[in-house]
Structure 1
Amino acid sequence: MSALILILLFTSNALSQINCSRYYPLEEGTTLQYTSINHKGKLESTADYIVSKVENSTSGTVAEMTFNLSDKKGKEIMQSSYNISCSGTGIKIDFQSLMASAMMKQYQEMEIEVDLTGTDIELPNDLTIGQELMDANITMTISMAGMNMKTIVNMMNRKVEKKENVTTSSGSYECFVIYSENESQVMGIKKTSPSRLWLTEGVGMVKQESYKSNGDLLSTTTLTKFNN
């Protein structure tokens, strides 16, 4: 993990690295691989992440996460990046940079304007069972040929449900389980998709399940490789 504040003494710097982010390994060169399967257990996609750049300042640490998404046949679908900032009490995932990098590449050769506003996804270092977490949201307005299309995504009702042990091909982990509801509004039509996230110290996400609005499982994503 990266330091909150760069200090000249190595020992003090190492201690700061531990305290900056308890859950996310913000150390340059760290790699993670996630595999997603559908509700029938069939492979859907693979995502390879790397902490590509880390910058430290007196206000905290910012890490750039670069990822490659491949389909079930191994063909690359998308490459993009987003930022994670760490202040010492926890991390914030820049929802806007995550959406913007993907959207801009998709529309860069088209005469389309994209405007993004919203809030970051926050995750404190100190998690406890029953704890309620801050909501996050993003509003994306696409302007094309005099027409505007607005999409709103709300990550809400976030709560730490319990602790649970999880084993994947990358190892065995003790995790906090975080529940959330992801509500999307496109042209006034709402759709809600609940999800659960399994989170462990020093690694981050180990597992995620997405569900239909009735609770039926849609897909499962698990950590299959980890190297720091």
Structure 2
Amino acid sequence: MNTMKTPLLITLLCLLTLNTTFSQESCSKFYPLEEGSSFEYTSYDKKGKTDGSVNYTITDVRQEGSASAATFDMKFKDKKGKDVFESSYSFSCENGLVTVDYKSLFPSQMMQQYSEMGLEMDISGTDIELPNDLSVGQQLNDANVTIAMSMSGINMNISVDQTNRKVEKKESITTPAGTFDCYLLTENSITKTMGSTIEMSSKLWLAEGVGMIKQESYKKNGNLVSRSELTSYNK
């Protein structure tokens, strides 16, 4: 199963960091929901070296009954700028609450490949919620996602619990895409897989009308692991 480790973990990371909001005026103040809008995020390792990038494009916005829905196309590139894989996923939003199609987050080409290898996968979890009106000191609901995999009688589960989610403060953040007034959200996460447990913390900066501006992940001891920031956008 080592061949699937990188794309699965990259996709899971994007799920956990970028699905915190859904974009529409009546549903969330964050992320403008307009077809054709695009956002590029560049990732860096703990030494500040480029580790890859991902580009999100909103390709379809629609009404599904009383809910709003949108499709996001994702294109991943490695640190050399070479295409790694592409995917798309869907959001729906109703009465200020977000629903994520977890299975759609995994590239169909990758899923077909793993299916042909005899891999069975089941993805479940609870949505990450973000109110329209954030305030400093506000505590947000916990969230989790679980991936159960089975192949040739071998089972492997990956679970990620996000806890202690709160709004720390408001501050101005500058990236190559510009300077933004942001809310800083912090949280702890516990990842369990194959008998091991990894505890981490993260910081997420969100700007109204744009969405995620910057994200940092830290080890339990406080050392920086990775950083991702908005490098360009068009809406």
Q: TM-score, normalised by structure 2?
A: 0.83
User: Are the aligned partners of 1:54 and 1:64 in contact in 2 as well (CA < 8 Å)?
Assistant: yes
User: Are the aligned partners of 2:86 and 2:107 in contact in 1 as well (CA < 8 Å)?
Assistant: no
Paired with 2:106 and 2:141, the residues of 1 have a C-alpha distance of 19
Answer yes or no: is 1:167 the counterpart of 2:174.
yes
1:96 is displaced (CA, Å) by 4.8
Q: 2:48 aligns with which of 41, 47, 53?
A: 41
Amino acid at match of 1:121: I
1:175 is displaced (CA, Å) by 0.3
Corresponding position of 1:153? 160
Q: 2:200 aligns with which of 176, 186, 193?
A: 193
User: Are the aligned partners of 2:88 and 2:107 in contact in 1 as well (CA < 8 Å)?
Assistant: no
Q: 1:74 to 1:108 in 2, by over 3 A?
A: farther
Paired with 2:201 and 2:113, the residues of 1 have a C-alpha distance of 27
Paired with 1:106 and 1:134, the residues of 2 have a C-alpha distance of 36
1:217 is displaced (CA, Å) by 0.9
Partner SS, residue 62 of structure 1:
strand
Residue correspondences, number: 212
User: Are the aligned partners of 1:137 and 1:153 in contact in 2 as well (CA < 8 Å)?
Assistant: yes
User: Are the aligned partners of 2:98 and 2:127 in contact in 1 as well (CA < 8 Å)?
Assistant: no
Deviation track 1:51-83 (CA, whole Å, cap 9, x = no partner) reads: 111121342211111111101101111211222
Q: Percent identity?
A: 47
User: Are the aligned partners of 1:33 and 1:46 in contact in 2 as well (CA < 8 Å)?
Assistant: yes
User: Are the aligned partners of 1:93 and 1:122 in contact in 2 as well (CA < 8 Å)?
Assistant: no
Deviation track 1:180-203 (CA, whole Å, cap 9, x = no partner) reads: 122111123211121110000011
1:214 is displaced (CA, Å) by 0.6
The residue correspondences of 1:34-183 to structure 2 (distance < 5 A) are 34-99=41-106, 104=111, 107-183=114-190
Deviation track 1:104-141 (CA, whole Å, cap 9, x = no partner) reads: 25614311111122111222211111111111111211
Paired with 1:28 and 1:67, the residues of 2 have a C-alpha distance of 14
Paired with 2:100 and 2:171, the residues of 1 have a C-alpha distance of 24
Unaligned runs of 5+ in 1: 1-16
Corresponding position of 1:8? none
Corresponding position of 1:14? none
Which deviates further from its counterpart, 197-206 or 48-57?
48-57
Paired with 2:138 and 2:151, the residues of 1 have a C-alpha distance of 42
Q: 1:35 to 1:106 in 2, by over 3 A?
A: farther
1:92 is displaced (CA, Å) by 4.3
Corresponding position of 2:29? 22
User: Are the aligned partners of 2:207 and 2:213 in contact in 1 as well (CA < 8 Å)?
Assistant: yes
Q: 1:108 to 1:74 in 2, by over 3 A?
A: farther
- The CA RMSD measured in Å over matched residues stands at 1.9
Q: 1:39 to 1:171 in 2, by over 3 A?
A: same
Q: 1:167 to 1:93 in 2, by over 3 A?
A: farther
Q: 2:216 aligns with which of 173, 195, 209?
A: 209
